[in-house]
Amino acid sequence: MTVPDRMLRVDLSAERVRSEPVPEEWLARYVGGKGLGARYLYEMEPGVDPASPVNRLAFLVGPLTGYLPGEPRYAAVTKSPLTGTFLDSYGGGAFAARLAGSLDDHLGVVIEGAADEPVTLSIVSGEATIEPASDLRGLDAAETDARFSEAAVACVGPAGEAGVRYATIASDGGDHHAGRGGAGAVMGAKNLKAVVARDPPPKIPPALRELRERADEAFADSDAGRWLAAGDTLETVAFGDETGVLPTRGWQVRRFDGAEGLGVDRASERATGRERPDDPVPGGFRVSTGDKERSDDAPDAPDATDAPDATVPRGGTPIALGAGLGIDDFDAVATLGGVCDRLGIDVISAGNTVAWAVRASDAGLIDPADHGVDRGLSFGDEAAARALIEEIAARSTPLGDALADGVAAAAERFGGTDLVPTVKGMELASYDPRGAATMALAFATGDRGGCHRRARPVETEAVVDPGWTPDERAAVVANEQDRRAALWCLVGDDFLAESFGPAAAAEWLAALGDERDPEDLRLLGERVWTLTRLFNLREGFGRGDDGLPEALTRGTDRAGETDEEPDDGLDPDAFEDLLDRYYAHRGWDREGRPTARLLDRLGLADLPDAATPVGSAAEVPDSGGGVD
pLDDT by residue (tens digit) across 52-77? 999 999 999 999 998 998 889 999 99
Q: What is the pLDDT of residue 377?
A: 95
What pLDDT was estimated at residue 291?
Answer: 52
Percent of the chain whose pLDDT exceeds 70: 93
pLDDT of residue 204: 92
* Residue 302: per-residue pLDDT: 40
Cα 467–chain centre separation: 30
Sheet strand arrangement including 6-11: 16-21, 6-11, 106-112, 57-60, 73-79, 86-92
Task: Compute the distance between CA of residue 407 and CA of residue 413 in angstroms, rounded to an integer.
Answer: 10
Question: In angstroms, rounded to a whole number, what is the distance separating the alpha carbons of residues 519 and 509?
Answer: 14
Handedness of CA 444, 450, 455, 459 (dihedral sign): positive
Q: 481 near 455, Cβ under 8 Å? A: yes
Instruction: Give backbone dihedrals phi and psi of 117, rounded to 5 degrees, phi first.
Output: -130, 165
State the pLDDT at residue 290.
56
> Taking Cα atoms as reference points, which of 255, 262, 390 lies closest to residue 321?
262
How do residues 526-547 score in pLDDT, each as one tens digit? Answer: 999 999 999 999 999 999 999 9
Model confidence over 412-432: pLDDT tens digits?
999 999 999 999 999 998 899
* Residue 369 clears pLDDT 60, i.e. is over it: yes
Residue 221 CB-density burial (10 A; 0-12 exposed, 13-18 middle, 19+ buried): exposed
d(C-alpha 224, C-alpha 493), whole Å:
11
Mean pLDDT, the chain, integer: 90
pLDDT at 330 over 70: yes
DSSP 587: T
| DSSP SS3 for 519 | helix
Contact between 393 and 300 (Cβ < 8 Å): no
Buried b / exposed e over 505-522, threshold 16 CB at 10 Å, is bbebbebbebebeeeebb
DSSP per residue, 440-484: HHHHHT-TTSS-SSS--THHHHTTS-----HHHHHHHHHHHHHHH
Split at pLDDT 50, 70, 90, the class of 136 is very high
279 compared with 152, residue with greater pLDDT: 152
Of the candidate CATH numbers 3.60.9.10, 3.30.420.10, 3.40.630.30, 3.40.50.360, the domain formed by 6-197 belongs to 3.60.9.10
Residue 206 has pLDDT above 70, yes or no: yes
Q: What confidence score (pLDDT) does residue 563 get? A: 46
Q: What is the DSSP string of 396-407?
A: -SHHHHHHTT-H
| pLDDT band (50, 70, 90) for residue 293 | very low
pLDDT tops 70 at residue 292: no
Q: Which of 83-87, 232-236, 256-260, 544-548 has the lowest mean pLDDT?
A: 232-236
CA torsion 428-433-437-442 (nearest 10°) is -20
Q: What is the mean pLDDT of residues 144-173?
A: 97
pLDDT of 626: 37
- Sheet with 285-288, strands from edge to edge, namely 271-274, 285-288, 310-311
Q: Is the pLDDT of residue 609 over 60?
A: yes
Instruction: Quickly name the fold that domain 230-427 has.
Output: 1.10.569
Average pLDDT over residues 202-212: 91
Q: In what order do the strands lie in the sheet with 176-178?
A: 127-132, 119-124, 192-197, 152-155, 169-171, 176-178
456 pLDDT higher than 70: yes
CB of 556 closer than 8 Å to CB of 254: yes
CA distances to 122, 134, 187, 574 from 116, rounded to whole Å, are: 17, 10, 13, 52
Helices (H), ranges, 171-280: 183-189, 206-221, 223-231, 235-243, 264-270
Q: What is the mean pLDDT of residues 445-452?
A: 94
DSSP letter, residue 345: B
Q: Which residue has the higher pLDDT, 440 or 271?
A: 440
In whole angstroms, give the CA distance from residue 561 to residue 570.
20
3-state secondary structure of 131: strand
Cα separation, 25 vs 132, whole angstroms? 36
Tell me the pLDDT band of 573, cut-offs 50, 70 and 90.
very high
* Residues 391-401, mean pLDDT to the nearest whole number: 97
User: Which band of pLDDT confidence, cut at 50, 70 and 90, is reported for residue 310?
Assistant: low
DSSP-assigned letter for residue 79: E
Q: So what's the architecture of 436-619 in CATH?
A: Orthogonal Bundle (1.10)
Instruction: Supply the DSSP string of 541-566, one letter for each residue.
Output: --GGGGSPPHHHHSPPSSSSSSSPPP
Nearest to 359 by CA among 323, 409, 402, 411: 411
227-236: per-residue pLDDT in tens? 677 767 778 8
CA distances from 519 to 502, 586, 594 (A): 7, 17, 21
Residue 499 has pLDDT above 60, yes or no: yes
Decide: 140 and 305 in contact? Cβ < 8 Å.
Answer: no
Least Cα distance to 456 among 233, 216, 181 occurs for 233
Contact 82, 166 (CB under 8 A): yes
Residues shown for the chain: 628
Write down the pLDDT at residue 297: 38
Question: Quick one: pLDDT band at residue 308, thresholds 50, 70, 90?
Answer: very low
- The confidence score (pLDDT) of residue 566 equals 56
Q: pTM for the full model?
A: 0.93
CB 9 within 8 A of CB 57: no
* Residue boundaries of the structural domains of the chain: 6-197, 230-427, 436-619
Local confidence band at 351 (pLDDT 50, 70, 90 cut-offs): very high
CA 255 to chain centroid, in Å, comes to: 24
